[in-house]
């Protein structure tokens, strides 16, 4: 038994050594899902309690406000070039556990393929241009359960990642996330460890001789089969609901995203760890109308004058809850820095089937 265990550990270590661990891997899974969360600058780890919890914090699934819930989201980035979609299905089996299925797609379609633009005689023939798509897909299966300790919930998900670049290449990946939520009086606390065991993407490429020749002549690197490693990250969140009046309440939440792959351009960083703080709030009117906002992506940048400045990304959102059956949310947000991509419109819809009374947070 010890020999088998030693061989397994040795194989795992060897795999890690030969794998590539880029700082930014599977970043489409860091964008977020749901207009509520995006409007609050992703500050929902402690409060998420619907079908989107399968992505944000699987521990919150068991608080889903209906035995069955369907969630849909659509947004577009880079002036509509990239499309980002999500569909989630949640089911509460009984009061103590829940299950969810999540599908996420981030894709750029109709990309011109000009490798055959010039024929064998050196003539340019635009009819030889074809198109392809670069698509990132993720499938998540999530489970949540209430623990014997009062107000403590735990959850986990298994994610399968499929990424494709036309017929040139693609990868299969596998990873695990784990999370917990705990309520203490009026406070909510949450924690998620993403890519617990690191997420592996095995890339393979199929390039014909013509494509390889074009890549060489144009100075492009010829990709090789490889293993890409996504390192773990820890997400923390805490928030509290404040009643303003009988009709109004406000829920602010603060979050910390912690990565352990060296320095990133975040507000707090060391050679070992980078910490990205963010903050969001949700103002509720009779659990019917919601106004949301947030601040995140705080970075140090050099302006045109050569001075170091601090920049941050504000987000806004609104939502309505119709008879605790249908929730429609909108967010005005971005996937990163506005100097890279203009703000985008995010729409999401949530449908309760045979629903109980929905919770104040959508």
- Model confidence at 361, pLDDT cuts 50, 70, 90, reads very low
pLDDT greater than 50 at residue 3: no
8 A C-beta contact, residue 196 and residue 155: no
Report the pLDDT averaged over residues 194-198.
90
| Cβ atoms 250, 290 nearer than 8 A | no
**Are 157 and 129 spatial neighbours (Cβ–Cβ below 8 Å)?**
no
pLDDT given for residue 23 in this prediction? 62
* pLDDT of the residue at 98: 95
Predicted local confidence at residue 336, as pLDDT? 55
Confidence at residue 252, expressed as pLDDT on a 0 to 100 scale: 98
Q: Which of 14-18, 78-82, 286-290, 348-352 has the lowest mean pLDDT?
A: 14-18
Per-residue confidence band for 359, with pLDDT thresholds at 50, 70 and 90: very low
Residue found by looking up tokens 């002549």 in the block = 217
Three-state SS across the chain?
A: CHHHHHHHHHHHHHHHHHCECCCCCCHHHHCCCCHHHHHCCCCCCCCCCCCCHHHHCHHHHHHCCCCEEEEEEEEEECCCCEEEEEEEEEEEEECCEEEEEEEEEEEEEEEEECCCCECCCCCECHHHCEEEEEEEEEEEEEEEEECCCCCEEEEEEEEEEEEEECCCEEEEEEEEEEEEEEEECCEEEEEEEECCCCEEEEEEECCCHHHHHHHHHCCCCCCCCEEEEECCEEEEEEEECEECCCCEEEEEEEEEEEECCCCCCCCEECCCCEEEEEEEEEEEECCCEEEEEEEEEEEEEECCCCCEEEEEEEEEEEEEEECCCEEEEEEEECCCCCCCCCCEEEEEEEEEECCCCCCCCC
Mean pLDDT of the chain: 85
pLDDT band, residue 164 (cuts 50/70/90): very high
> In the predicted model, what is the mean pLDDT of residues 73-90?
90
- Full-model pTM: 0.84
Please compute the mean of the pLDDT values over residues 118-146 and round it to a whole number: 88
Q: How distant is the alpha carbon of residue 89 from its chain centre?
A: 17
Q: Where are the domains of the chain?
A: 28-353
Convert the pLDDT of each residue in 205-258 to its tens digit. Answer: 887 777 777 777 777 777 788 888 888 999 999 999 999 999 999 999 999 999
State residue 5's pLDDT score: 36
What are the pLDDT digits (tens) for 299-314? 887 777 878 888 888 9
Percent of the chain with pLDDT over 70: 89
- Give the pLDDT score at 128: 82
pLDDT of residue 14: 38
Mean of the pLDDT values across residues 260-269? Answer: 84
pLDDT score of 68: 94
Pick the more confident residue, 16 or 266: 266
Residue 20, Cβ neighbours under 10 Å: how many?
11
CATH superfamily of 28-353: Outer membrane protein transport protein (OMPP1/FadL/TodX) (2.40.160.60)
Structure confidence by residue, pLDDT tens digits, 93-117: 877 899 999 999 999 998 998 877 8
> What's the confidence (pLDDT) of residue 341?
54
Task: Compute and round to an integer the Cα radius of gyration of the chain.
Answer: 23
Mean pLDDT of 46-54: 95
């Amino acid at each position: 038994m010890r020999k088998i265990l030693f061989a397994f550990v040795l194989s795992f270590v060897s795999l890690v050594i030969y794998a590539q661990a880029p700082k930014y891997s599977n970043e489409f899974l860091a964008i977020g899902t749901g207009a509520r969360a995006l409007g609050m600058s992703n500050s929902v780890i402690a409060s998420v309690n619907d079908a989107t919890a399968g992505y944000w914090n699987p521990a919150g699934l068991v608080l889903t406000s209906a035995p069955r819930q369907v969630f849909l989201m659509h947004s577009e980035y880079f002036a509509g070039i990239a499309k980002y979609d999500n569909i989630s299905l949640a089911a509460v089996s009984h009061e103590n556990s829940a299950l969810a299925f999540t599908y996420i797609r981030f894709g750029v379609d109709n990309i011109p393929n000009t490798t055959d633009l010039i024929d064998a005689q050196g003539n340019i023939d635009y009819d030889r241009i074809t198109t392809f798509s670069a698509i990132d897909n993720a499938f998540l299966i999530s489970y949540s359960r209430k623990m014997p300790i009062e107000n403590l919930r735990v959850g986990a998900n298994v994610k399968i990642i499929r990424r494709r670049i036309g017929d040139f290449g693609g990868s299969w990946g596998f990873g695990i996330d784990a999370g917990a939520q705990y309520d203490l009086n009026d406070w909510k606390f949450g924690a998620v460890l993403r890519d617990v065991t690191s997420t592996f993407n095995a890339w393979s490429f199929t390039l014909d001789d013509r494509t390889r020749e074009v890549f060489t002549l144009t100075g492009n690197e010829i990709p090789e089969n490889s293993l890409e490693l996504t390192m773990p990250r820890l997400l923390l969140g805490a928030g509290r609901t404040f009643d303003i009046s009988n009709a109004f309440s406000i829920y602010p939440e603060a979050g910390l995203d912690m990565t352990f792959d060296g320095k990133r351009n975040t507000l707090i960083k060391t050679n070992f760890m980078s910490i990205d703080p963010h903050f969001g709030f949700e103002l509720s009117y009779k659990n019917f109308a919601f106004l949301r906002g947030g601040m995140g992506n705080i970075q140090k940048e050099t302006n045109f004058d050569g001075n170091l400045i601090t920049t941050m990304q504000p987000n806004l959102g609104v939502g309505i809850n119709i008879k605790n059956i249908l929730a429609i949310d909108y967010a005005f947000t971005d996937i990163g820095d506005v100097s890279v991509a203009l703000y985008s419109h995010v729409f999401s819809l949530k449908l309760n089937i045979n629903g109980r009374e929905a919770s104040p947070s959508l």
